[in-house]
């Protein structure tokens, strides 16, 4: 009987003692097993996971074994569960939690900052100075703490976003993706109505970056990439121009279509090694570039071009400054249809197949969702 001390449960949503969960052993080695249902602490809840989407970073984390994307790595236990883009229903409340009720449907952000460091105090909790330090309350579920390829997970209340009944489970998993794009646009200044923007790379963040930028009023919005089917999705999500870089020179095309002076902003979501230099040449003087993806090798950058042209360069990590709440508000108001990037659905026990679809882009897979229930 699940009854951790001080934790509130409800007979209508009985919680078992153990749950089905995927855990990562050695790199690339996922096991489907039973493990204890975790207990929420102060300011935390237990979420029954209803759906979880697969992200490119999940593929990295699973392939490389250590909680990835943390400089220096972290101690790693072999019962750790990856997965970070999930949603579900609140099943238990930690001691003192009255901000949410059992039965509430929520989607989640990845990062709970420590709440006490300088960056957390600025709203930059994805850049928490105590990153990975669970003793200080930091969580990055699916990166440094247990994630969502399981039936239950613990979340800090600051990472919960209530969702409308009309939003499906699968659509709700996309809030954090749209929220990441929203965070990038927030860091670029947020007030982008009437300003020109290029999104580089039609992956999930890039595609929803187009949608969010249009909802914020940016115009014109360009989308560049190599895969025509994905560029066409960008058109459906509101892009004013798409540029297939296998057929035309992106810098030349963007400048020509925008009056020859270049654009105000670039949101770089491709991770291509030449992207930063191309972006620098798409921007006008004083323009701003936000890097939301990265190449795996160091790249040569034409710094002189950036300096001479007063170009601002930002890097974002994840979904800070409550951007997911703004993204969810747009989705709730049907300002764009994120569902267009959800292509495939699998059951929790089929996770390896789901990961293969996402990695190898089988049948043009973009966002693959695993339904836990
Ligand atoms: Zn992700
Ligand atoms: Zn912090």
d(CA 10, CA 368): 32
Interval between CA 336 and ligand 1 midpoint (Å): 19
Interval between CA 84 and ligand 1 midpoint (Å): 6
Contact 155, 90 (CB under 8 A): no
Provide the sign of the torsion angle of the four alpha carbons 132, 349, 166, 344, taken in this order.
positive
Compute the CA torsion angle 354, 356, 358, 359 (nearest 10 deg): 160
64 falls in which pLDDT band (50, 70, 90)? confident
pLDDT tens digits for range 21-44? 999 988 889 999 999 999 999 999
The DSSP letter of residue 272 is -
Assigned domain for 169 exists: no
Assigned domain for 124 exists: yes
Residues 126 and 81 grouped into a single domain: yes
Residues 23 and 157 grouped into a single domain: yes
Assigned domain for 271 exists: yes
Assigned domain for 324 exists: no
Interval between CA 129 and ligand 2 midpoint (Å): 5
Residues 306 and 356 grouped into a single domain: no
pLDDT at residue 192, rounded to an integer:
96
* Residue 310, both tokens: 């007063």
pLDDT at residue 75, rounded to an integer:
58
Q: Which domain holds residue 98?
A: 11-162+337-371
Contact 371, 86 (CB under 8 A): no
**Is the pLDDT confidence value at 46 over 70?**
yes
pLDDT at residue 218, rounded to an integer:
98
Residues 190 and 301 grouped into a single domain: yes
Residues 282 and 356 grouped into a single domain: no
Element (H, E) at 353: helix 351-360
pLDDT tens digits for range 282-295? 999 999 999 999 99
**Nearest ligand for residue 158 CA:** 2
pLDDT at residue 67, rounded to an integer:
54
d(CA 19, CA 291): 38
Interval between CA 343 and ligand 2 midpoint (Å): 36
d(CA 292, CA 279): 13
Assigned domain for 322 exists: no
Place of tokens 């921007």: 283
Assigned domain for 143 exists: yes
The domain total for the chain is 2
Q: Which of 215, 192, 237, 222 is nearest to 332 (CA)?
A: 215
Residues 34 and 132 grouped into a single domain: yes
pLDDT at residue 26, rounded to an integer:
83
pLDDT tens digits for range 136-168? 999 999 998 999 999 999 999 999 999 999 999
Interval between CA 122 and ligand 2 midpoint (Å): 9
Residues 155 and 205 grouped into a single domain: no
Which CATH number fits the domain that encloses residue 157? 3.90.180.10
Residues 158 and 184 grouped into a single domain: no
Assigned domain for 297 exists: yes
308 falls in which pLDDT band (50, 70, 90)? very high
**Nearest ligand for residue 317 CA:** 1
Residues 33 and 58 grouped into a single domain: yes
d(CA 86, CA 58): 12
Q: Which residues contact 183 (CB under 8 A, 6 or more apart)?
A: 126, 316, 318, 319, 320, 321, 323
**Nearest ligand for residue 69 CA:** 1
Contact 110, 143 (CB under 8 A): yes
Residues 148 and 267 grouped into a single domain: no
d(CA 322, CA 258): 32
What's the chain's average pLDDT?
95
The CB density around residue 256, as the number of other CB atoms within 10 Å, is 11
Assigned domain for 328 exists: no
Residues 345 and 310 grouped into a single domain: no
pLDDT tens digits for range 230-265? 999 999 999 999 999 999 999 999 999 999 999 999
pLDDT at residue 275, rounded to an integer:
98
Interval between CA 124 and ligand 2 midpoint (Å): 8
């Amino acid at each position: 009987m699940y009854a951790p001390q001080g934790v509130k449960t409800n007979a209508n949503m009985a919680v078992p003692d153990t749950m089905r969960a995927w855990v990562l052993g050695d790199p690339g080695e996922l096991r489907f097993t039973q493990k204890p249902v975790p207990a929420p602490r102060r300011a935390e809840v237990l979420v029954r996971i209803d759906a979880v989407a697969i992200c490119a970073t999940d593929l990295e984390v699973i392939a490389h074994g250590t909680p990835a994307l943390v400089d220096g790595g972290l101690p790693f236990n072999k019962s750790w569960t990856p997965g970070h883009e999930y949603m579900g229903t609140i099943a238990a409340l930690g001691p003192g939690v009255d901000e949410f009720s059992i039965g509430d449907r929520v989607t989640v952000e990845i990062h709970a900052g420590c709440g006490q460091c300088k960056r957390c105090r600025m709203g930059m909790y994805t850049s928490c100075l105590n990153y990975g330090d669970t003793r200080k309350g930091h969580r990055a579920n699916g990166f440094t703490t247990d994630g969502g390829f399981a039936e239950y997970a613990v979340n800090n209340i600051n990472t919960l976003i209530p969702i409308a009944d009309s939003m499906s489970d699968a659509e709700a998993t996309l809030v954090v993706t749209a929220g990441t794009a929203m965070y990038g646009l927030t860091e670029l200044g947020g007030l982008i109505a009437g300003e020109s923007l290029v999104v580089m790379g039609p992956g999930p963040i890039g595609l929803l970056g187009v949608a969010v930028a249009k909802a914020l009023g940016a115009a014109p919005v360009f989308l560049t990439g190599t895969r025509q089917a994905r560029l066409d999705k960008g058109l459906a999500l509101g892009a004013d121009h798409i540029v297939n870089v296998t057929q035309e020179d992106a810098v030349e095309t963007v400048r020509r279509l925008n009056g020859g002076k270049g654009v105000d902003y670039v949101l770089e979501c491709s991770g291509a090694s030449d992207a930063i230099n191309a972006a620098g040449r798409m921007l006008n003087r004083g323009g701003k570039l936000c890097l939301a993806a990265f190449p795996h090798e160091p790249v040569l950058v034409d710094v002189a071009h950036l300096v001479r042209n007063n170009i601002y360069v930002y890097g974002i990590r994840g979904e800070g400054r409550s951007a997911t709440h703004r993204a969810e508000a747009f989705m709730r108001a049907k300002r764009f249809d994120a569902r267009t990037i959800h292509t495939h659905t699998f059951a929790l026990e089929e996770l390896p197949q789901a990961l293969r679809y996402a990695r190898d882009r089988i049948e043009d897979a973009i966002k693959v969702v695993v339904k836990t229930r």
